[in-house]
Amino acid sequence: MPNLNLAAWTRPDIDAQCSAAHGRYDRELALHYTEYFAAHPALRGGHRHCAVNMEAALPTNWSRLADRIPLPRRHRHHLSGKSSQILALGLLGSTSELDRSLGWLWSLVGRPASPVTPDTSVQFEYEVAPKLLNEAPHVTTIDYLVTGPDMVICTEAKWAERGLGACSCARQEDGDPTIGECAERILRRQGYWDAAREIFGLPPLEARTYCPISTSYQAIRNVAAARALAGQRKCAFLLIYDDNNPYFRQCGEWPGWPALLRETLSERDGFLFRTVSWQELVTMLRLDEHVKAWAREKHQLPI
């Protein structure tokens, strides 16, 4: 039986279970995208599994979606076939135009569908204000943010990534999560610690123990941002993932991020958590034939 206690998992523990399987998965994806671009040479850029530009990375007739993400907010490898940013933009961007009620989204969070009003905002790669969570120089970015009169939904879109992002304290050499040494800049972000305690049920930071927020750092930031942006409104954190990715399914003793977060997150004070695979989600979205073909041929999604 997989261990569903989030506090028991460290990033090295997770990698020990998933790394080898993810390596095989990643190589298979790279081969598929290489073959895809070989079959569509007009779309291929300088690398064998990358598009020549943003428009070529998107579905036919949907190049206008490129304007939804300004150049500074595009991921370094956004032209790669493995880019979760482009996958989300192609699917969620097109369905947001074709189904302005966002019925699929309200269905996922258990809310009645309603037309998008002037008070409803749909944004990609939304950067929260530095003061919101006391963040500097880097702020939390929401992959797909929907804000309405009575609800805020923060979506994290994953595809080929090695799970959810951990903290950067060790990489920046101003902390060591393995012994509970947290960077001063993180300690000052009270919204993170409140979310970790109240929603994730994680223990407080203690010296000489593994930092409680390091492993689930990216999820905690999303939840903290959702709560802060919502104010008195309800809020939700939605995780979308590839169910073939070893980090997002059971792999050895690892239960997968969706199962672990479903078991962990506490739905309280107007907060909701939902998770759905891309494989399931594409059957719920209103998409045209160009987007369906792109999803099926480029990304091997069952549509």
Residues 193-244: tens digit of each pLDDT:
999 999 999 999 988 899 999 999 999 999 999 999 999 999 999 999 999 9
- Confidence at residue 114, expressed as pLDDT on a 0 to 100 scale: 54
- The answer to the question of residue 126 being in a domain is yes
Number of domains in the chain: 1
Domain encompassing residue 48: 6-297
Residue 25 has pLDDT above 90, yes or no: yes
- The answer to the question of residue 279 being in a domain is yes
pLDDT tens figures, 265-292 = 988 889 999 999 999 999 999 999 999 9
> CA 246 to CA 262: how far, in whole Å?
17
- The answer to the question of residue 1 being in a domain is no
- The answer to the question of residue 105 being in a domain is yes
Strands 151-157 and 141-147, bridge-based pairing: antiparallel
> DSSP per residue over the chain, as a string?
-----GGG--HHHHHHHHHHHHHHHHHHHHHHHHHHHHH-GGGB-SSTTBBSSHHHHSPTT-GGGGGGS-GGGS-TTTTBTT-HHHHHIIIIIHHHHH-TT-HHHHHHTT-------TT-EEEEEEEPPHHHHT--SS--EEEEEEE-SSEEEEEEE-SSSSSS----TTTTTS-BGGGTB--HHHHT-HHHHHHHHHTS-PPPP-TTS--TTTTTHHHHHHHHHHHHHHTTSEEEEEEEE-TTSGGGS-BTTB--HHHHHHHH----TTEEEEEEEHHHHTTTS---HHHHHHHHHTT----
- The answer to the question of residue 281 being in a domain is yes
Residue 90, both tokens: 């192609």
- The answer to the question of residue 214 being in a domain is yes
pLDDT tens figures, 28-55 = 999 999 999 999 999 999 899 999 999 9
Residue 85 has pLDDT above 60, yes or no: yes
pTM for the predicted model, two decimal places:
0.95
Phi, psi of 151 (to 5 degrees): -160, 145
- The answer to the question of residue 252 being in a domain is yes
